[in-house]
Structure 1
Amino acid sequence: MLLYGASGHAKVIITCLRAQRGFVTAIFDDDPAKTALWQVPVIGTYDPTHLPTEELIVAIGDNAIRRRIAGQLRHAFGQTIHPSALVDASVQVGEGSVVLQGAILQADARVGRHVIINTGAHVDHDCRLDDFVHVAPGATLCGNVQVGEGTLVGAGSVVAPNLRIGRECVVAAGSVVTTSLPDYATVRGNPARIVKIRQP
Structure 2
Amino acid sequence: MYLFGASGHGKVIADIAAANDIKIKAFIDQDVTKNECYGFPVLNNLPDDKEKLIISIGNNLIRKKIAEQIKSEMGTLIHPKSIISASVNIEEGTVIMGGVVINADTAIGKHCIINTNASVDHDCVVEDFVHISPNSALAGGVEVGEGSQIGIGASVIQGIKIGKWCVIGAGAVIINDVPDYSVVVGNPGRIIKKNFI
User: What band does the TM-score fall into relative to the shorter chain?
Assistant: over 0.9
3-state DSSP of counterpart to 1:155: coil
Deviation string 1:44-73 (CA, Å, 9 cap, x unpaired) is 1x32xx143110000000000000011111
Q: Hey, what does 1:177 align to over in structure 2?
A: 174
Q: Per-residue CA shift, 1:21-54, capped at 9, x if unaligned?
A: 112101110111111112211011x32xx14311
Q: Distance in 1 between matches of 2:80 and 2:185?
A: 32
Measured in 2, the distance between the counterparts of 1:52 and 1:160 equals 45
1:195 aligns with 2:192: yes
The answer to whether 1:36 aligns with 2:36 is yes
What residue in structure 2 maps to residue 26 of structure 1?
26
Q: How many percent identity over aligned positions?
A: 43
- 2:10 aligns with 10
**1:23-172 correspondence runs (5 A):** 23-44=23-44, 46-47=45-46, 50-172=47-169
3-state SS of paired residue (1:3): strand
Alignment-mate amino acid for residue 37 of structure 1: C
Q: Residue type of the partner of 1:11?
A: K
Whether the 8 Å CA contact 1:104–1:122 is kept in 2: the answer is yes
Give, in whole Å, the separation in 2 of the partners of 1:194 and 1:67: 25
Q: Deviations over 1:49-100 (max 9, x none)?
A: x143110000000000000011111210001000000001000100000000
Output the CA distance in 2 between the equivalents of 1:128 and 1:56: 24
Query: How far apart in 2 are the matches of 1:28 and 1:197?
Result: 33
| Consecutive unaligned residues in structure 1, runs of 5 or more | none
For 1:4 and 1:93, how far apart are their aligned partners in 2? 20
Letter of the 2:15 counterpart: T
Tell me which amino acid in the other structure corresponds to 2:11.
K
Q: TM-score, normalised by structure 1?
A: 0.96
Instruction: Provide the aligned C-alpha RMSD in A.
Output: 0.9
Are the equivalent residues in 2 in contact too, given 1:52–1:75 (CA < 8 A)? no
Counterpart code for 2:88:
V
Query: Number of paired residues?
Result: 197
Q: Distance in 1 between matches of 2:97 and 2:195?
A: 30
- The answer to whether the 8 A contact 1:116-1:133 is kept is yes
After TM superposition, the runs of 4+ consecutive aligned structure 1 residues lying more than 4 A away are none
